[in-house]
Amino acid sequence: MSDPLAIGVLGGGLMGSGIAEVCARAGHDVLLVEADASARDGGRDRVAASVSRAVERGKLTSSEAQQVLGRIRVGLDLDACADRDLVVEAVTEREDVKATVLARVDKVLADEALLASNTSSLPIMRLAAATSRPDRVIGLHFFNPVPVMPVVEVVTALTTSNDTLSRAEAFVRDSLGKHVVRASDRAGFVVNAMLVPYLLSAVRMLESGYATARDIDEGMRLGCGHPMGPLALCDLIGLDTVQAIAESMYAEYKEPLYAPPPLLQRMTDAGLLGRKSGRGFHPSPAAA
């Protein structure tokens, strides 16, 4: 893929806004598409806040920040993606929602355009089957926070062409400057297949009364050298996202260790989703 590209990002939540930002930082023209006006404003605000933090930390100059923001348009119309070279779907982690969105945008894209999903765990093959271009559908799994995390999992379905893989990897590696990890199209891919059982075991430990959330996290952080404990990481990822990944992995493997613990389910039912809601296993930094 040659620079600059016309990039579409579907969904302006934590992941979508981060993807839009790194694409704009790389010099691409970005269209961020949201579902409604309220979500549109939220997506724009998340990008602006992240870029502002980058200026405060000396990662961007004020002039560069303005250029980045100037490369991002936020809209409500999927039809506006018709001129995009690559569209990255980053909507909620539900297969039916993702498949519907991909099928809709597929109808307006040029034949050579690529479609990517930022799913954390859903099979790319099933998402590709919802489109008329399964050979041009690929998984690009970014990690939160997207502007900071240096890796992207690139996931091919059985139908993904070699050309699509080559173009997607070149975009991630050469344009965005991210490290590529190739992953098979299995629920959880590489990182979450290793990470999620660990997170769920920490939830079960808390649920069973082995230790407090603070002591579980401090034990792993100080005892194993992890940058944050497993329950704090759940809060950062979002408890609803952790549950969705676990459900997807359990559906595929039927491994009991992948089944979401009752405590996780109850917390998502209560809207205690972690940092995004202000409270999860710990109060969010802003709420503390």
Which sequence positions are flagged as catalytic?
120, 141, 153, 192
Instruction: For residues 267 and 216, give the distance between their C-alpha atoms in angstroms, rounded to a whole number.
Output: 18
Q: Which residue has the tokens 């041009």?
A: 136
CB 28 within 8 A of CB 107: no
- Nearest Cα neighbor of 145 from 283, 38, 13 is 13
Provide the b/e sequence for 246-256 (b: ≥16 CB within 10 Å). bbbbbeeeeee
H or E element at residue 79: none
- Nearest Cα neighbor of 242 from 226, 224, 225, 258 is 258
H or E element at residue 281: none
**Alpha helix segments (H runs only) across the chain:** 14-25, 37-56, 62-70, 95-106, 124-128, 162-170, 191-207, 213-224, 230-237, 239-253, 262-269
